Amino acid sequence: MNHQQLKALTPELKPYKRGLGGGLSILVDPKGRKYFTGRIKGQSLWIGTFGDKPSQQSLSGARKKFDEIKKYCYLNNISYRDYKRTQSKAKLESWNLIDAINHFHEIKKSQNKETTLKENTRKLNRVLSFIDGETPLSELEISRGGKEIIEDVITKIEKGGRNGSAVDEAKRCRNLLKQVFFAAEDIGKMKQDENPAYRRVFRFHKVTHHPTVTCKEVPEVLSKVSLNTCNSHQITQLATKLVLMTFLRSGALTRLEWGMIKEGGKLLIINGKTSGLKRTKHINDHIPHHVPITAQMEKIFARAKRFNQGEKYIFPPIRESRFDHLDPSAPNNFLRNLGFEGKLVTHGWRSVALTNGIDLLKTSKEVIKKQMGHLPDNKVDQAYDKSLMLEERRIFLNNWCDLLVANGLEV
């Protein structure tokens, strides 16, 4: 039979086959669909759908594919079932680390914010600087010594940071690699339970929190930030002062835009999609964060305006940077240069605000947590509590900024 004769075959009430020679057949079902089938060593196999579309098989294409399979089976004296296992293994081993990373990026495109995607790319490129991206995934499986390879990469990242320490970055790289391998495992490109970046921890461990300071140490922090004894750029100093006033995360604060200042300069409304607010994409990133602007904050914005040359960001980059705004690490670097390395980071300042807001300013925890950007932590409140408590938050921030100034912060 030729191509035109196959096209001319019409459906019947029951499926029927027509032999094409050499063990190859065409199957026609009652709906008129036509499939190439074959038989090798007593086992049936499915070749593909007959048709002219790119995804379908022509008669010559089906003959060629069937002949290749049959030849392989007879030369190697194996059944079709064993042939499929061989092909499956070859397909499994054909993927390398780069393929797995690209697959992971493709999955995350619809799930993560653009800033997160860029950060993921940066960290995985850091991994690839220590391991060949062409390494087959099969060689990275635990049973083949892959765990030792990945541990070596993580150790090199840990030792590659400032002063020979980048433990946090290494931990984040490990977590990303773990996700990369799990994504490959989900589609059969890596065997189950062979993820080399997965760590099974069976011991209890102490949870470590962000470094922070006590109430007695606050005046020293405020004094050093005001004096700028390390001679950092004024943009960094201003951004750090605003962190102390608003206790925003550095990632969100450095991405503040002039267009976010609303209501005649009395309210800062930060888009929920802003990186650093810790909103979840497509779930609650439609919820903005409100910051009532105090007199002290107005002074910060007025001074920052002097450095503005038409940029949309309140805190522009100091030098050429991968960011269009001030580097989110700048406030933490400023605190470190002031002598607070290991003692205080900007995220740890949130603990200072919550503790002293309750103890000294007698403000309810609910008000402070709303001002910290926390969303309701249970499903009922998430569904029904839409309150902003802006007036209470304005009173709290006014009192908080007054307290900072009274303890040594110069604005």
Write down the residue that tokens 């002074």 correspond to. 299
DSSP at 43: E
**How far apart are alpha carbons 352 and 240 in whole angstroms?**
15
Residues pairing with 117 in the sheet = none
What tens digit of pLDDT does each residue of 45-89 get? Answer: 989 999 988 888 899 999 999 999 999 898 989 888 888 877 766
- Asked whether the predicted pLDDT for residue 28 surpasses 60, the reply is yes
Q: At 380, is the pLDDT very low, low, confident or very high (cuts 50, 70, 90)?
A: confident
Distance of CA 392 to the CA centre of its chain: 35
Size of the chain, expressed as the number of residues it contains: 411
Query: pLDDT by residue (tens digit) across 131-190?
Result: 999 999 988 999 888 999 999 999 999 887 655 568 889 999 999 999 999 999 998 888
pLDDT number for residue 367: 95
Phi, psi of 114 (to 5 degrees): -60, -40
Question: What are the DSSP calls for 13-36, one per residue?
Answer: SS-EEEEEETTEEEEE-TTS-EEE
Per DSSP, what are the bridge partners of residue 24? Answer: 21, 38
Q: What does the alpha-carbon distance between residue 323 and residue 197 come to, in Å, rounded to a whole number?
A: 30
Rounded mean pLDDT, 119-135: 93
Please tell me the predicted confidence (pLDDT) of residue 161: 61
